[in-house]
Amino acid sequence: MRGSSPPEACHVLPAAGLRDPAVSFWSLREDSRLLAVGALKQLDPRHGEVKSMRTAPESLGMGAGRAMLDHIIEEARGRGYTRLSLETGSTEPFAAALRLYERNGFVRCGPFGGYKDTDFTRFFARQI
From residue 97, alpha-carbon distances to 90, 92, 106, 119, 126 in Å are 9, 10, 11, 17, 15
Whole-model pTM: value is 0.87
Domain 2-127 has CATH 3.40.630.30: yes
What residue segments make up the domains of the chain, in order of their start? 2-127
pLDDT in tens, the chain (128 residues): 445 554 554 456 667 777 889 999 999 999 999 999 999 999 999 999 999 888 999 998 899 999 999 999 999 999 999 999 999 988 888 899 999 999 999 999 999 988 889 888 999 999 99
User: Residues with Cβ < 8 Å from 30, sequence gap 6 or more?
Assistant: none
* 120 in Cβ contact with 33 (< 8 Å): no
From residue 59, alpha-carbon distances to 54, 55, 63, 97 in Å are 10, 6, 8, 13
